[in-house]
Amino acid sequence: MGSGNVNKMSMGDSDSGNPATRLPASSSDEVKKGYFSNFKDKVWLRNVIGFWIMGLLNNSIYVVMNAGAKSISAGGVGLVYAVNIAPALIIKGTLPYWYHLMSYDTRMIIVAVLNVCCLLLVGVSTDMTVQLIGVALGAFASALGEASFLAYSVHFESRSVITAWSSGTGMAGIFGYAWNMLWMKGLDATFSVVCLTGLVLPTFWAITYFHVLQRPEKTEPSVIVAKPSDGDIESSSGLAAGKDEDEFSGLQKFMWIITKLWPYMIPLFLVYWSEYAMQAGTWAAIGFPITSTAARADFYSYANWAYQAGVFISRSSGAFISLNKIHLWIMPMMQVGFFAFFLLDSTYHFWMNNGLLAPAFLTGLLGGAVYVHGFLLISKEMPENRREFSLSAASIADTFGILLADVSGIFIQGCIMASNNVVDCDSSTLTCSPPMYTCGHTFNTTYNPAYL
């Protein structure tokens, strides 16, 4: 970072920084010792807590929308998932090229406002199109928050705050589904109540950012410009190392992503494509018995609970263990295997009981581990003057994987339901509806209480 403007207690770990603050990635014991030895540092602890809360709040509304997907579109869970992630591709795909034009403070205010609009549109309207617009606004907010905070971590002790952020986003999965279940199952309320009571979340987001985080004095997105004789000099007006701002073109930024970040981005893409294809496609079509609409909804909910628990545990693992790129590539391959397993099982029914929650939990462990350790490796291995850009740019990989999986999920769910000849039935309206994609199958949509 190299600037005297940044609070000394908040400095990111760098190759040229104090060795006592740089955590080696080769030894899990040293990682644990270095991480927990900072607990007496009140500023460090305050920032770690702040990043954890921000991670929790950033992803909670996204999870609430996914948890309520069947309330928005019972036969098109994949559609809700897709709308809940597609805008993120726009944000994360373009943010590395304009993030230095907008302060972190401004972005955090925009995130809060977008989340308020999301919850109001989904909670107040009964029109699915309007609700989907609300879901999309929430997706914009979540993506802007995630990409911004990953980049923002370079202004702090990076390993600590990235781990805290990742752990918070992992807890968001549990919190989001718990929030949904509290109101809909515990208090028999509607999804509209879930959304409107959720308006407290953007409020806490703003309070945490502005009043909990001990933010560095320099809060503008940092960009580095180097002169041949001066070394690296930090500036708020450019990005390139060893080049003037105008010399580091959009094409050069893109080539940096392709040539330097692909070893981290491909595993992120693959692990998230696999697990979200499972969620949106296979889990939405499994139940015991499979003909029961309620049983399928229950398995979908419980499997996601198990998955989110796994995500939280593994996203918190950066404080205890350190993984390398070989581990980063093995885990997505395992995740693809789990996807194939659930696809075959939902079609041929060779294992149909609650024991399936165990592999659902394992998929969460794999996905969360690739996320936190992927970004920790980027923070450790990228040149200091490219970390902020690299962390922001790489975040598009999991988003692209999720979007492709959600689109795939529409077709997967439809074909599994066609294979099993089942439809979703609603006792309140005495109707049954086919999935959004019918896979060429003609469904019998005559209301039948046996399918409830």
The SS3 call for residue 173 is helix
pLDDT in tens, 331-390: 999 999 999 999 999 999 999 999 999 999 999 999 999 999 999 999 999 888 788 888
The pLDDT, as a whole number, for residue 207 is: 96
Q: What is the pTM of this model?
A: 0.79
DSSP 389-401: HHHHHHTHHHHHH
What's the burial of 322, exposed, middle or buried (CB within 10 Å: 0-12/13-18/19+)? buried
Q: Where is 449: in which H helix or E strand?
A: none
CA dist 22 → 47, 153, 227, 247 (Å): 17, 14, 27, 32
CATH 3.40.50.2000, domain 35-218+250-448, yes or no: no
> pLDDT at residue 223 above 80?
no
> pLDDT at residue 114 above 70?
yes
pLDDT in tens, 132-167: 999 999 999 999 999 999 989 988 888 899 999 999
CA dist 210 → 110, 199, 240, 294, 364 (Å): 14, 18, 30, 43, 32
Structure tokens of 36? 């927990």
Strands 223-227 and 231-235: antiparallel
The pLDDT, as a whole number, for residue 63 is: 92
d(CA 82, CA 69): 11
d(CA 205, CA 119): 14
Phi, psi for 275 (deg, rounded to 5): -75, -35
Q: What percent of the chain lies above the pLDDT cut of 70?
A: 82
Residues in CB range of 263: below 8 A, 6 or more apart: 325, 328
pLDDT in tens, 12-27: 343 333 333 334 444 4
Q: For the chain, what are the domain ranges?
A: 35-218+250-448
Structure tokens of 127? 């029109």
What average pLDDT score do residues 104-127 get?
94
d(CA 13, CA 9): 11
The mean of the pLDDT values for the chain is 83
